[in-house]
Structure 1
Amino acid sequence: MDTRLATARLAEYFEKLTPDSVAQLPDLYDGQARFKDPFNEVQGLAEIERIFRHMYVALDGPHFVITGQLVDGAQAFLTWEFRFRFKRFDTQTLQVVRGGSHIVFNEQGMVTLHRDYWDAAEELYEKLPVVGGVMRWLKKRANT
């Protein structure tokens, strides 16, 4: 298995992800793959697909921009920007969440673990009405 090739293929997939291409996850992910982010922890393709499909229901124009790739053995780390617009709050402002994904591949080059790391407080909650004000106040208090 060529991890660099598998990583590049996965990065390209996420940069071109659409509601229709979510169905192509089985081409990249093992059937029992695990996925974890600040809001979800699931196992299996059906659950991973559900999370990515929901992204298109909950947000306007969600898409990923891969900003870096590190490969070591059978694992990789992708840095990315997730860009979208809220459907219910500030619908005009392009939002950007910066984060990274730890990816582990099996011997066939299929993803067995996908774990996203990003700061939900800074990257999301602070941008929401009401909650954002509270989060910024808490952050300020914690830093004084």
Structure 2
Amino acid sequence: MLDPKLQAFLDFYNSLSANGLDAIADYYVEQVQFIDPVHEINSRSALQHYLAHGYQRLNYARFTPVSGLCQGERGFLSWQMRFSHPAFAKGEEILVHGSTELAWQDGRICYHRDYYDLTEMVYQHIPLLGWLTRQVKQKIAAS
């Protein structure tokens, strides 16, 4: 069973949509620091804009917890995300493994860092780039 803070975090992300971001103020402080392999963001309004843009064309995204740990105001969550986007893999479901490091301040998230493989999420699903990525992996594995 997940810590209630981690479960609330997962529930929030599993209920997100491009138009359903009003509850973000319940989960994040105004000056939140958000980092992922694509962006570094330092305000709740910028995070809301980033998420709205990211979720705009998604068919769906669903996070499933693998494991989690909370100690005081810090938490770590390992997850799997299944999502579908019309621009990747012809809209078929994509599975991404990742983890999130969190810190809370007064009950809301003040630090959020996502770790995931951008190749697993995006690059391998772009025709030419996917082929090139597989070739590089094969050469590295063979050496």
Q: TM-score range by the shorter chain?
A: 0.7 to 0.9
Counterpart amino acid of residue 43 in structure 1? N
CA contact (8 A) 2:78 2:98 kept: yes
Any idea what SS the aligned residue of 1:59 has? coil
CA drift at 1:100: 0.6
- Following the alignment from structure 1 to structure 2, what is the Cα–Cα distance between the partners of residues 96 and 73? 31
CA contact (8 A) 1:70 1:77 kept: yes
- Following the alignment from structure 1 to structure 2, what is the Cα–Cα distance between the partners of residues 20 and 49? 10
- Partner residue in 1 for 2:18: 19
- Following the alignment from structure 2 to structure 1, what is the Cα–Cα distance between the partners of residues 6 and 80? 17
- Following the alignment from structure 1 to structure 2, what is the Cα–Cα distance between the partners of residues 128 and 55? 17
Counterpart amino acid of residue 21 in structure 1? G
- Following the alignment from structure 2 to structure 1, what is the Cα–Cα distance between the partners of residues 13 and 89? 25
RMSD across aligned positions (CA): 1.7
- Following the alignment from structure 1 to structure 2, what is the Cα–Cα distance between the partners of residues 117 and 91? 25
CA drift at 1:12: 1.8
CA contact (8 A) 2:17 2:52 kept: no
Tell me if 1:134 matches 2:135.
no
TM-score, scaled to structure 2: 0.87
- Following the alignment from structure 2 to structure 1, what is the Cα–Cα distance between the partners of residues 24 and 119? 29
Runs of 4+ in 1 over 4 A off after TM superposition: none
- Following the alignment from structure 1 to structure 2, what is the Cα–Cα distance between the partners of residues 93 and 8? 27
Unaligned runs of 5+ in 2: none
TM-score, scaled to structure 1: 0.87
- Following the alignment from structure 2 to structure 1, what is the Cα–Cα distance between the partners of residues 80 and 137? 23
CA contact (8 A) 1:97 1:124 kept: no
CA contact (8 A) 2:83 2:93 kept: yes
Tell me if 1:117 matches 2:120.
no
- Following the alignment from structure 1 to structure 2, what is the Cα–Cα distance between the partners of residues 12 and 128? 30
Any idea what SS the aligned residue of 1:117 has? strand
Counterpart amino acid of residue 122 in structure 1? E
Any idea what SS the aligned residue of 1:19 has? coil
Identity score, percent: 24
CA drift at 1:92: 4.0
Counterpart amino acid of residue 43 in structure 2? G
- Following the alignment from structure 1 to structure 2, what is the Cα–Cα distance between the partners of residues 89 and 123? 9
Counterpart amino acid of residue 127 in structure 1? H
Offset from partner CA, 1:17-50 (integer Å, 9 cap, x none): 2334322110010000010100010111111111
